[in-house]
Amino acid sequence: MKKLFSVLLALAPLIVSAKKPNVLFIIADDQAPLSIGGVNNPEIKTPNLDRLAKQSVLFNNCFNQGSWSGAVCVASRTMLITGQSVFRAPKNKPYLDKWANSRGAIAVEGSTEVKLWPEVFRDAGYDTFLTGKWHNNYYSALKGFSQAKAIAKGMYETFDPSGSKKPGYNRPTKTNNQWTPWDPKFTGHWAPFVRDIVKKDGAHEVSEEYTVKKHSSELFADHAVEFLGKAKKTDKPFFMYVAFNAPHDPRQAPKKFVDMYPPSKIAIPENYLPEHPFDNGAIKIRDEALAPFPRSKEAVQVHRSEYYAIITHMDREIGRILKALEKSGRADNTYVVFTADHGLAVGQHGLMGKQNPYDHSIRMPFMISGPGIRKGVSMDEKIYMQSVYPTTCELAGLKVPETVDYPSIVPLVHGQKGARGEDLIFNCYILTQRLVRTDQFKLIHYPKIGRNQLFDLKNDPQETKDLIDDPKHAAVRKDLLEALQRKRKELGDGLLSASPRN
């Protein structure tokens, strides 16, 4: 008996190491790449993300591949859960919500149903849990998750003290308006409309919608903490999808967080412009109506101060989740990923939204930590955010479905010799914008107006000096125009007939 006990004791480390790893995926909404205090922006306070970055491999050049819809969030998240590229993902029509067909969108056609990211983990015996913004339809949530609390819509339906169901994301722009980000009577983040996955008659279904009188970031963190509290009582592996609505507008946060960022103290971006120099095809979209035209420096400071405040508030809630993970006893066997669906302009280039081709809007933070992952490593290799699907599958020892287009970045994460990211980043926005980006140069094409831009990102990271007509860059322009056409053909861009001028 003593001998058997000794054998079991010796095998214990092997048994533990053989346990399936857990995944905690945290995604923010509209979080720009330069928004983590300890990493790249000392103006903002994000102590919990700072600590997570020190435990992670951090990717400085993580991109979204674009959007077929004005609701860039929808496209980004559909590509994420399907693993399919920007012109293939919208063919998965059964998974899409109504915003996938917004005005000016590329046609959504087809009835394809591929294996969803959480579905892969669910089929492998994982507890799959969702809380927060889903922005795909409820059918896709039911396919992927065994549990869900407070599934949030893509957009709040009220932003009005009377409680009427009016569109809820438009911060008032009137002079001397009485709107305050910390006042719950203005609803928005303070009164999210949500649903749960519930069990009824032996089957899972989505509950009726209900309203919670609590800030959305606190609500989603509460449910994540509760799930982790239960996780310590079981050995079953888990996959958590925690999706904050923050820092999407209306950028609301408790007053103490707003008070951290007096607007007059907020720096004006180096690439600030009162207005974008031309109509890029998205000037009239909702996001751009959030501040008056032309953009005053004061308006930009107000928006950026509120943006920082809601991020710092979200950071506090992320800290609660990470603390709960530690308390659960499961942290050592859990991969933690933090990222966002895309970035945001917030006053740069005369723009407020994300429907534009500049790095502040097509890039986002991306960090990954966990068992065997290097700590405090910063990488400049170019990746797509949606590569997290095959990456986590590979880390968990699960087969990546053949329908997934994005490559795993495990070789990069582990620092394998010769590992490389994407040679060329492609991005598009509905029918109006296309671009390719290398380490040094970015070429942007506007099909509807027959205009191009060229930026040298190494010498002009703020994208302020357009070199498209510079004779010294004629060869670069020609090469990138050809590369753009090849990439559009490779990905299946239906606008190929609208060729850019050479």
Nearest-angstrom CA–CA distance, 165 and 161: 10
In this prediction, residue 314 carries a pLDDT of 99
Q: Between the CA of residue 243 and those of 103, 320, 329, what are the distances in Å?
A: 25, 15, 23
In this prediction, residue 175 carries a pLDDT of 53
Q: Is 376 helix (H, G, I), strand (E, B) or coil?
A: coil
Q: How buried is 270 (Cβ within 10 angstroms: 0-12 exposed, 13-18 middle, 19+ buried)?
A: exposed
pLDDT of 156 > 90? The answer is no
Please give the single-letter amino acid code of residue 375.
K
3-state SS string for 161-212:
CCCCCCCCCCCCCCCCCCCCCCCHHHCHHHCCEEEEEEEECCEEEECCCEEC
User: Could you give the percent of the chain with pLDDT greater than 70?
Assistant: 88
pLDDT of 177 > 70? The answer is no
**pLDDT: which is higher, 282 or 84:** 84
Reported as a pLDDT band with limits 50, 70 and 90, residue 113 is confident
The lowest-confidence range among 54-68, 106-120, 303-317 is 106-120
In this prediction, residue 145 carries a pLDDT of 98
Q: At what angle do helices 388-395 and 72-82 cross, to 10 degrees?
A: 30
Q: How buried is 417 (Cβ within 10 angstroms: 0-12 exposed, 13-18 middle, 19+ buried)?
A: exposed
For 358, the token pair is 């500049």
For 108, the token pair is 């959504």
For 174, the token pair is 């009137």
Single out the residue of 274, 265, 270, 264 nearest to residue 296, CA to CA.
274
In this prediction, residue 395 carries a pLDDT of 99
Please give the single-letter amino acid code of residue 442.
K
In this prediction, residue 494 carries a pLDDT of 86
Nearest-angstrom CA–CA distance, 404 and 436: 21
User: Could you give the percent of the chain with pLDDT greater than 90?
Assistant: 79
Q: What is the mean pLDDT of the chain?
A: 91
In this prediction, residue 202 carries a pLDDT of 83
Q: How buried is 265 (Cβ within 10 angstroms: 0-12 exposed, 13-18 middle, 19+ buried)?
A: exposed
Nearest-angstrom CA–CA distance, 173 and 306: 14
Mean pLDDT of the 279-295 span: 89
In this prediction, residue 497 carries a pLDDT of 52
In this prediction, residue 236 carries a pLDDT of 96
In this prediction, residue 290 carries a pLDDT of 87
pLDDT of 209 > 60? The answer is yes
H/E run at residue 318: helix 297-328
Reported as a pLDDT band with limits 50, 70 and 90, residue 14 is very low
pLDDT per residue over 39-63, tens digit each? 999 999 999 999 999 999 999 999 9
pLDDT of 1 > 50? The answer is no
**pLDDT: which is higher, 346 or 158:** 346
**pLDDT: which is higher, 8 or 488:** 488
Global pTM?
0.93
In this prediction, residue 151 carries a pLDDT of 97
Q: How buried is 15 (Cβ within 10 angstroms: 0-12 exposed, 13-18 middle, 19+ buried)?
A: exposed
The lowest-confidence range among 64-68, 287-291, 467-471 is 287-291
Reported as a pLDDT band with limits 50, 70 and 90, residue 201 is confident
Structural contact between residues 454 and 468, judged by C-beta atoms closer than 8 angstroms: yes
Reported as a pLDDT band with limits 50, 70 and 90, residue 179 is confident
In this prediction, residue 52 carries a pLDDT of 99
In this prediction, residue 15 carries a pLDDT of 41
What do you get for the CA distance between the two ends of the chain, in Å?
81
For 254, the token pair is 């408790």
For 138-149, the DSSP string reads HHHHHHH-SEEE
pLDDT of 359 > 70? The answer is yes
Single out the residue of 149, 67, 45 nearest to residue 426, CA to CA.
67
3-state SS string for 414-438:
CCCCCCCCCCCEEEEECCCEEEEEC
Full set of structural domains in the chain with CATH: 20-413 (3.40.720.10), 431-491 (3.30.1120.10)
Mean pLDDT of the 436-445 span: 99
